Amino acid sequence: MTESMALGVFGLSVPAGTHLCIFFRGSSGVEEIVLPFLAEGIRANDKCLAILESRMPSDLLSGLALQIDVGPSVATGQLELATPAEAYLRSGHFSTQEMLDYWADEAAATRSGGNFSLTRATGEMPSVLDQPAGRAEFFRYEAMLNDVIPKNPQVILCLYDLERFGAEVLMDALRTHPMVVVDGMVHDNPYYLAPDKLLAGRS
């Protein structure tokens, strides 16, 4: 994937097929990142997805409507907003394979539908998974995404609130994202570990 996509955040652009994370603090950080990220995607005619726990879809839609006309994007299915229960936990529990299949299906739909050339998505780790077994499975998923996303017309921006999660979660986020936004710039992440190396060390 060589096509570049404007994130709408800090004036940054990344190649399609990028999986990256951004750290922020508090609810205002969510709005400062997610709303322009989605607004830029709507303007660019990208498929836009957001899976947030800290903001209900209705609140997110209201905030987004202050920046852009969201009516057409909702009507056509260009914009989809969901809670973790509706996305990550829709079968009653978190499943890495279900989520990887979801992104593969989304990529196939983007390629075959012809309406959108790219999918941009953003999401938060569900707090229900912030315990040892849940964290292990969630970051197994984050790691394995790095074998999937580079092959697809997708950009996934993962959100980590420094006020919600402890050091263990934040270090796992760094280990599972090849790129990270720090101080308003995208950096190659020196702490990133390839999926086979990371998961072999945890088996």
CATH number assigned to the domain comprising residue 75: 3.40.50.300
Q: Which two tokens stand for residue 170?
A: 């934040």
Q: What is the DSSP letter of 181?
A: E
Q: Which amino acid is at 45?
A: N
Rounded to an integer, what distance in angstroms lies between the CA atom of residue 186 and that of residue 189? 9
Split at pLDDT 50, 70, 90, the class of 11 is: very high
**Domain span at 95:** 4-200
- pTM recorded for the entire structure: 0.93
List the beta strands (DSSP E) in the chain.
Answer: 4-6, 13-15, 18-24, 47-51, 79-82, 119-124, 154-161, 179-182, 185-188
For 194, phi and psi rounded to 5 degrees? -60, 150
Q: Which residues contact 23 (CB under 8 A, 6 or more apart)?
A: 160, 161, 162, 170, 173, 180, 181, 182
Share of the chain above pLDDT 70, in %: 98
For the chain, the domain total comes to 1
Q: What confidence score (pLDDT) does residue 203 get?
A: 57
Q: What confidence score (pLDDT) does residue 105 get?
A: 85
Q: What confidence score (pLDDT) does residue 116 get?
A: 87
CA distance to 22, 111, 143, 154, per residue, from 150 (Å)? 18, 15, 12, 8
Q: Does the structure show a pLDDT above 90 at 62? A: yes
Q: Which residues contact 142 (CB under 8 A, 6 or more apart)?
A: 158, 172, 173, 176, 177
Q: Does the structure show a pLDDT above 90 at 48? A: yes
List the 18-24 sheet strands across, edge first. Answer: 79-82, 47-51, 119-124, 154-161, 18-24, 179-182, 185-188
- Pairing status of strand 13-15 against strand 4-6: antiparallel
